[in-house]
Amino acid sequence: MKNAKLGNVWDSLRASYWFVPTLMAIGAVILSTVMLAIDSAEIQILKDLRWIYTGGPSGARQVLSTVAGSMATVATTAFSITIVALQLASSNFGSRLLRNFMQDTGNQVVLGSFVSTFVYSLLVLRTIHDESFDLFVPQLSITVGMSLAILSIGVLIYFIHHAATMIQASHVIAEVSDELHDAIDRLFPEPIGEEAPNHCQPMSEIPKDFASVAIPIKAERTGYLQVVDDVSLMKLAKQQDLIIHLQLRPGQFVIQGSEIAKAYPADRVDAEVAKRLNGALILGSERIEQQDVEFPVDQLVETAVRALSPGVNDPFTAIRCIDRLGAGLCHLAQREMPSPYRYDDEKTLRVIAEPVTFNILVNAALNPIRQYAKPDVAVTVRLLNALRTIASCTSNSTQRAILQRHADMILRGSEIGLSEECDRNDVKAQYDRVMQALKQS
């Protein structure tokens, strides 16, 4: 992924509530400056417009004061509603889903609309003069302010509808599912340098003494690996004529002083090289989906597991999560798994970066739900149905073996968790359909 560091910064900005409102407030400052300049020019054709504000200075002050005061009140209310929505999301879906709510562009634009209208009204209000020798009423600027206030009413109506929609389970699950599909499109395959001509392990190109001679690189910080700056990593490996083997992938937790990579040969690695390699691995306090396809999977799984807990007991939400996970794994099954071996433009092996595999993602998606769903026949049947759907999307024998292993575990779990023979028969019938689908794929 090119410009990984810029992408990481942009992802952080998108997850903040201050960035878009700040940009819109700056836009309000620019707009007020332009409008006041036009009013100062006293263009006659504008004065002849019938819809333009024609009142005096006292009326202008009252209009803008009312607009500014109402926008401040509405902005405060919108912030309060947003905080309540975040609290509900945290308690119902888990704290890891808060980032999705923070990234919601609609909320950011709504808050920015109220703030920018408030700023615009204040800036225009200060220019109104009623002295006879210095009378100035920016009629066009006031008209624009009134238009912004009317527009803000529409924004408020949208916000009420949006706030009620965004906390619905179906909406939350669909949003996370979209992120999962986007991550799959973005990361499979994910190029670091140029890929090998085939995916077989280039044993002849890996030095025989690599494991024993390669020097370990230690982490300088603690946190989650959010992004690997592939461009910087490949540039470092080529400049120093190194082979770098990354020991972790995005989404994994790094402890300061732990081994994050191995570099070969050791005599070309000094403190500066170790520092540059650490700089190519961007750590943060939380996981993000930019290069971590497991993260949206874990979010859907967390929602499903919470729904299956005795305190919530909502199998239908869990079933929706299973449907979305099944769709994501179907998407993944049709993509080519990337090679861990990455080459520079001269076809020289430079980076070995273990990618996330189909097996890892299937385990992450199905194991926790299977473990919690043993006594629930509806969820168990839906898990098997998802496996049958995934099986129809793959012709890879290794992937079919993975799916069969999970189907076998689900069947054994149902025999232990379900007390009614009729329920066990339903599960067995669905299991047989999975086996049939695996044979046909």
| Average pLDDT score, the chain | 86
Mean pLDDT across 344-363: 89
Same domain? 245 vs 268: yes
Same domain? 101 vs 226: no
360 vs 324, 340, 357, 365, 439, CA distance in Å? Answer: 17, 15, 5, 9, 23
Domain boundary among 240, 262, 284: 284
Mean pLDDT across 247-266: 92
- Comparing 27 with 440, which gets the higher pLDDT? 27
User: Picking from 66-70, 197-201, 202-206, 413-417, which range would have the lowest pLDDT averaged per residue?
Assistant: 197-201
Same domain? 150 vs 10: yes
Estimate the share of the chain in helix, then strand, then coil, as percent rounded to the nearest 5.
65, 10, 25
Query: Does 315 reside within a domain?
Result: yes
Of the candidates 104, 102, 105, 112, the residue with the CA atom closest to the CA atom of residue 26: 112
Query: Does 308 reside within a domain?
Result: yes
Query: Does 416 reside within a domain?
Result: yes
Same domain? 28 vs 154: yes
pLDDT tens across 95-149, in order?
Answer: 777 777 777 888 889 999 999 999 999 999 988 887 655 677 788 888 899 999 9
Q: Is the Cβ–Cβ distance between 374 and 416 less than 8 Å? A: yes
CATH code of the domain in which 270 resides: 3.90.1170.30
- Comparing 3 with 400, which gets the higher pLDDT? 400
Distance CA 111, CA 236 (A): 43
Same domain? 397 vs 303: yes
Query: Does 351 reside within a domain?
Result: no
Instruction: Identify any residues that bridge with 129 across adjacent strands, giving them in sequence order.
Output: 136
Query: Does 125 reside within a domain?
Result: yes
Count of domains forming the chain: 3
pLDDT tens across 387-432, in order?
Answer: 999 999 887 889 999 999 999 999 999 999 888 999 999 999 999 9
SS3 119: helix
Mean pLDDT across 208-214: 82
Q: Give residue 313's domain range.
A: 293-337+356-440
Distance CA 48, CA 52 (A): 8
385 vs 273, 287, 419, CA distance in Å? Answer: 50, 30, 21
Is 60 exceeded by the pLDDT of residue 198? no
Query: Does 106 reside within a domain?
Result: yes
- Using alpha carbons only, give the angle 197, 200, 203 rounded to the nearest 5 degrees: 105
pLDDT at residue 218, rounded to an integer: 94
Domain boundary among 284, 319, 345: 284
Is 70 exceeded by the pLDDT of residue 441? no
Same domain? 268 vs 297: no
Query: Does 182 reside within a domain?
Result: no
pLDDT at residue 334, rounded to an integer: 87
How much of the chain, in percent, has pLDDT values that exceed 70? Answer: 90
Same domain? 227 vs 299: no
Same domain? 315 vs 383: yes
Same domain? 82 vs 150: yes
427-429-434-439 Cα dihedral, nearest 10 degrees = 150
Mean pLDDT across 169-175: 88
Is 60 exceeded by the pLDDT of residue 186? yes
Same domain? 229 vs 279: yes
pLDDT at residue 365, rounded to an integer: 95
pLDDT at residue 190, rounded to an integer: 44
